Amino acid sequence: MERYSWNRQFAALLAVQLLVSTAHGMFTPLLPGFLQESGAVSGGRLPIWSGLIFSSNFIAMMLAMPLLGRFGDRYGRKPVMLWSGFGMAVVTALMSLAHEPWLLTALRFVQGCFTGILPFAMVLVLIGAAERKVGVSAGTMQTMGETGSLLGPLAGSLLLTLLPAREAFPAMSLCIALAAVCVALFVKEAPLAQPADAAAKTSFKQDWVVLWRCKPLPSLLLSALCVNFSLVGMQPVLPYYVAESTYRFAWLSEEWQLGITLSVTSLAVILFSPLLGRAADRIGPLPLLKLSTAAAACLCAVQAFTHLYPIILACRFLLGLCIAGMMPNIQAQVRRLVQPGMESRTYAAVNSWMFFGSLAGPLLGGAITAWFGTSGWFAAAGLMFAISFWQALRIAASARAAGAASQEAGSAAASAASA
């Protein structure tokens, strides 16, 4: 792809990332407002319903992603993105008709079936970027995604001051529809790496066996699961965590303080993702992954023991710095392992594990918060980050062992040749 056409394509994909992430970010402050307006749940059941509603979306995503990966390798990524974008826009608009928590849960599940637009936008970036710019390209995509995550909660909080929560859902739908139009008009896809019927010759089981034997992909999958478990699981917990906090700013309403708490992490990601992406291109993604996961575990430990709002804000900002060093570097390492013709299926597997973490995080997060309070949740999130750090150590050890074996084989071959 020529430089100009790639730059134009990259700009279009950045716009898609911004619009869809903004729509997703708007949902977080709208959900507590919806539950309060419905009057169907109260007290200790609020965190549990929040977790169920968040998780229903990711159940469908986890199940649909492997199928979409096969479609992407067989028919192309752009058709999947269009189907996902317009389908998601329609379902999101229908959420304005929901009057009960169970109905919103069902619509979130259906929405998750149209999940391909953001994952395949990242696939097109990772396989289209030059090798020396994979890290900075992934970091820039994350910056745009987090810009949407920054604007989304603020926009959702603003809409709550003007409209009932249900009437704000069409604004989310509009953002997603604009993203789908952007894909239709500006995104072009290079020819597939294999004929369309080649992707259909293997079964799901055969694809999975091939991917699982591709070391260290299993460790990267588990690391992605743990990271998403903690990050997404925090979203439904944070409104209650902020409500319990002390020394809050009296000159800000509770809705705006929640919006700021949700957005300050995204602000840090926006500031540091391109910088850390360039660092990853220079020193490799693995050192940054180890440092980021270890620091995130420590920050969760701090939040488990404090309810001071200024400290919470500081931890949330520093967590954004850690996020900037996590997911782009996991994706960059996966790119090095992708086999030609299996790009969509490989990243579909990564996204399925990410979605499983996104499913388990809110679901268990709501239950843990209901039983052990927010301190118990942050202890659990810290443990998951620690597991991700352990996987990064295993990947590093495996790389050192492979390097040593290669060096020994080279020395043996040289000795044999000299003899």
Q: What is the CATH number of the domain that holds 175?
A: 1.20.1250.20
Q: Choose the most confident range, by mean pLDDT, from 12-26, 102-116, 338-352, 394-408.
A: 12-26
Cβ(121)–Cβ(311) under 8 Å? no
Q: Is 197 contained in some domain? A: no
Q: What is the DSSP string of 29-72?
A: HHHHHHHHHH-S--TTHHHHHHHHHHHHHHHHHHHHHHHHHHHH
257: containing domain:
3-186+205-397
At 183, is the pLDDT very low, low, confident or very high (cuts 50, 70, 90)? very high
Q: Across the chain, which distance is largest between two alpha carbons, in Å? A: 84
pLDDT score recorded for residue 405: 56
Q: If you ran DSSP here, which 8-state letter would residue 190 be given?
A: P
Lowest mean pLDDT among 69-83, 108-122, 403-417: 403-417
What sign for the dihedral angle of Cα 384, 381, 288, 117? positive
pLDDT score recorded for residue 215: 77
What sign for the dihedral angle of Cα 198, 199, 205, 209? positive
Rounded Cα distance, 11 and 7, in Å = 6
Angle at 161 between CA 35 and CA 151, to 5 degrees: 90
At 1, is the pLDDT very low, low, confident or very high (cuts 50, 70, 90)? very low
Question: Mean per-residue pLDDT for 12-37?
Answer: 86
Question: Mean per-residue pLDDT for 165-180?
Answer: 89
* Close Cβ partners of 84 (under 8 Å, ≥ 6 residues apart): 68, 114, 115, 116, 117, 120, 180
pLDDT score recorded for residue 417: 55
Cβ(146)–Cβ(266) under 8 Å? yes
Residue 74, by phi and psi: left (phi above 0), alpha (psi -120 to 50) or beta? alpha
pLDDT score recorded for residue 250: 64
Token representation of residue 111: 């929405």
Question: Mean per-residue pLDDT for 142-149?
Answer: 84
Rounded Cα distance, 196 and 82, in Å = 19
Q: Is 419 contained in some domain? A: no
Rounded Cα distance, 173 and 260, in Å = 23
pLDDT score recorded for residue 340: 72
Of 149, 148, 152, 144, the closest CA to residue 168 belongs to 152
Token representation of residue 190: 């290079």
Q: Choose the most confident range, by mean pLDDT, from 294-303, 316-325, 396-405.
A: 294-303
Higher pLDDT, 99 or 250: 99
8 CB burial (10 A radius; 0-12, 13-18, 19+): middle
Query: What residue has token string 């062992």?
Result: 401
Question: Mind listing the pLDDT tens digit for each residue in 255-308?
Answer: 667 777 777 887 888 888 888 878 877 887 788 888 999 999 999 999 888 888
Helix orientation angle between 217-244 and 327-335, rounded to the nearest 10 degrees: 170
Residue 195 preceded by cis peptide, ω within 30: no
Rg of the chain taking only CA atoms, in angstroms: 22
Q: Is 403 contained in some domain? A: no
Rounded Cα distance, 407 and 399, in Å = 12
Question: Mean per-residue pLDDT for 80-105?
Answer: 89
* Close Cβ partners of 6 (under 8 Å, ≥ 6 residues apart): 128, 129
Question: Mind listing the pLDDT tens digit for each residue in 113-140?
Answer: 888 898 888 888 888 777 777 778 888 8
Does 182 have pLDDT greater than 90? yes
Q: Choose the most confident range, by mean pLDDT, from 48-62, 77-91, 223-237, 386-400.
A: 77-91
Token representation of residue 57: 């979306």
Q: Is 89 contained in some domain? A: yes
Q: Is 341 contained in some domain? A: yes
Rounded Cα distance, 216 and 138, in Å = 20
pLDDT score recorded for residue 413: 53
Helix (H, G, I), strand (E, B) or coil at 202: coil
Rounded Cα distance, 105 and 40, in Å = 13
Rounded Cα distance, 368 and 132, in Å = 43
Q: Is 410 contained in some domain? A: no
Q: Report the mean per-residue pLDDT for the chain.
A: 80
Alpha-carbon torsion, ordered 151, 281, 291, 51, to 10 deg = 40
Q: Which residues pair with 35 in a beta bridge?
A: none
pLDDT score recorded for residue 324: 84
Does 328 have pLDDT greater than 50? yes
Helix (H, G, I), strand (E, B) or coil at 246: strand
Question: Mean per-residue pLDDT for 316-320?
Answer: 89
Does 186 have pLDDT greater than 80? yes
Q: Is 41 contained in some domain? A: yes
Number of structural domains the chain divides into = 1
pLDDT score recorded for residue 400: 72
pLDDT score recorded for residue 247: 72
Q: Is 159 contained in some domain? A: yes
pLDDT score recorded for residue 87: 93
Phi first, then psi: give them for residue 308, nearest 5 degrees.
-80, 120
